Amino acid sequence: MSDAPETSEETSGPGPLSWRVRTALLVLFVAAVATVWVTNKLLTQRFTETTRNRAELRLALYSGNLLSEIRRNAIVPQLLALDQSLIGALQTGEYVQSSQRLIFYAEQIGGASLMLLDNDGRTVAATDRNRLGEGHRQAPYFVDAMRSNATVFTTRQRETGDFSFFYSRRVEAGGTALGVILVELDLSKFERAWAGISDAVLVTNSEGQIILATEPRWRGLQVSEALERQPPGSAIERAIQATADWTAVTADAYLRGEAVMRIDGRIPFRGWSISSFTTYASVRERVNAVLALEIMVFALLAALAFYALSRRTALRMALFQRESAELRRLNARLQREIAERERVQENLAVAEQTLEQSSKLAALGEMSAAVSHELNQPLAAMKTYLAGARLLLRRNRPEEAQTAFHRIDDLIERMGAITRQLKSYARKGADELSPVDMGEALASALSMMEPQLKVRKVRISRITPDHPVRVMGDRMRIEQVLVNLLRNALDATKSVRNPEIEVLLAEGETATLSVRDNGHGIEDLDALFEPFYTTKQPGDGTGLGLAISSGIVADLGGRLTARNAEGGGAVFEMQLPILKEEDKQAAE
């Protein structure tokens, strides 16, 4: 008695328990999604703001260092233009010690490249001795310096895409211009330093042209053009990143397909600006670390919930295993049925071949009466010729008897031709295809049907090209189709007063042979080529001739069609692929 209530509880328990478990899992899932979404939004905003503040501070530092370098070098040309040794060298043309003096100044200044140009713009002294003798007469920094009394700043883009920056000042004595002192600034060192710290930094001039950049391919472009110039894979990467990067705020720009934060600043020098691009990688890493911890906690809770359902899952798995065993047995039975169907199809193929041969033998049976009549006439004539020849030999007239024998030989040859056609038609077709002349096949079929056509007194019209029309096929099977078509046309004209059959052979993209009669036409064109369909009286036909003929033509790569002619009667059309030149050479 004590066990009965427990059994009842277990029996009725699964329904409510299942509902409660599903509700708990749904609530757990909603709580997890809400917690992750809120955490992601708050932490992303907070960490993004922190990253932006650091980027702004770093950009101010970059701008200050660059401005300091520019101003530090701005005073150098003014001081060197007052150097008496350099002035004396320009006046006397003696530059032996000038290059060494410029090298000394460069070491004191710290890395600047110095050059002394004479009045013609030729380099007469330089810290880089390889540049001695270079001409700068047309260079803007030489022309502007010669025309101005102040220090001139010049920017020039090289053929490699890099930019060079120069300070130049005229060197004069007594109001006479003697040459130009040129100081080249090494600002590319900032590019190298920025590349190791920030993701991307660029400096633009007052016209918006990028003159310094950690991305070499940006130099000389506008900022909008530089950001649009992405490598081939960046468009796809950016599309994927836009959908997958759910931990970042809206991107300011995209760099190499990755969302970045853009910070702009101004350099108080000739309208220059500086911009930096910082990825959200650090933001994503910090946010994702917190989100991963939260997700792990919810995953553990979900694992506990699923563990509670494991016992029920085990019962279901046992049921599935039983069903799988049943399915395997069903699959084995289906495989046996498939094998049986394959054997039936093989037997059906053999039966179709037997039906083809039976159709030919049935046609031979119908021809036999007309053929026997055709053979009786030569036999009667031979009997008469033999009697005459015997009489002529008795009368000693061998020449005339020999003529009778020749006639008897012609009759025997005619009878042999008739029997050869019948034996050839009765044979099975060849397994391999060979070139077939459609004109010869038609002539052979008409020859076999000649006794029946004569008995019925049917008028035959045959139109064929002057040249052979060849196809790749089996001549015996093609002749079988032609005989079937001629027999059908002959049967269709039984009730016509003046029966006519027109046979037309044409050559185009295909070899087309049409057989037209002047009968009463076809009543059911849709069922015409179905097996055992016939309009003849019982005992006159099996209804397999056209079905077998259609199958033969299809096997040879063609098609057999039928239609009612406009003037009455039916038209059967057999189309076969023309034998091409390359096929002829291969057949030969």
Q: Which residues pair with 179 in a beta bridge?
A: 118, 171
Q: How many CB atoms lie within 10 A of CB 17?
A: 13
Q: If we measure between CA atoms, which residue out of 108, 21, 124 comes closest to residue 72?
A: 108
pLDDT given for residue 273 in this prediction: 92
Angle, CA of 385, 388 and 393, to the nearest 5°: 120
**484-523 per-position pLDDT tens digit:** 888 888 888 888 888 888 999 898 888 999 999 888 888 8
Beta-carbon neighbour count of residue 515 at 10 Å?
21
144 in a structural domain? no
Alpha-carbon gap, residue 569 to 563, rounded angstroms: 9
User: What are the DSSP calls for 460-486, one per residue?
Assistant: EEEE--SS--EEEE-HHHHHHHHHHHH
In a domain, 166, yes or no: no
By DSSP bridging, strand 176-185 and strand 113-118 are: antiparallel
Backbone angles phi, psi at 232, to 5 degrees: -55, -40
Q: What is the spatial distance between Cα 39 and Cα 46, in angstroms, rounded to a whole number? A: 11
Does any domain span residue 142? no
Give the position of tokens 């934060």: 261
What range does the domain containing 453 cover? Answer: 430-587
Contact 418, 374 (CB under 8 A): yes
In this structure, the number of other CB atoms found within 10 A of the CB of residue 49 comes to: 12
Q: Nearest Cα to 183, choosing from 270, 78, 96?
A: 78
- From its phi and psi, is residue 532 left (phi > 0), alpha (psi between -120 and 50) or beta? left
Q: What is the CATH number of the domain that holds 542?
A: 3.30.565.10
Q: Are strands 176-185 and 163-173 parallel, antiparallel or unpaired?
A: antiparallel
pLDDT (0 to 100) of residue 4: 42
Gap between the Cα atoms of 356 and 546, Å rounded:
11
Residue 244's pLDDT is 43
What residues contact 60, with CB distance under 8 A and at least 6 apart? 265
DSSP 406-450: HHHHHHHHHHHHHHHHHHHHHSPPPSS-EEEEHHHHHHHHHHHHH
Q: Phi-psi bin for 155: left (phi > 0), alpha (psi -120 to 50), beta?
A: beta
Answer whether residue 545 is part of any domain. Answer: yes
Number of domains in the chain: 1
Q: Is residue 458 part of a domain?
A: yes
Residue 315 inside a domain? The answer is no
Helix 398-426 to helix 438-456 angle, to the nearest 10 degrees?
A: 110
Q: Is residue 407 part of a domain?
A: no
Below-50 pLDDT ranges, the chain: 1-16, 232-249, 373, 538-539, 542
Residues with Cβ within 8 Å of residue 516, at least 6 apart in sequence: 489, 501, 502, 503, 504, 565, 569, 570, 571, 572
Give the Cα separation of 27 and 22 in Å (integer): 9
| d(C-alpha 74, C-alpha 402), whole Å | 138
pLDDT of residue 585: 58
State how far the Cα of 340 lies from the Cα of 342, in Å rounded to an integer.
5
Instruction: Give domain status of residue 184, yes or no.
Output: no
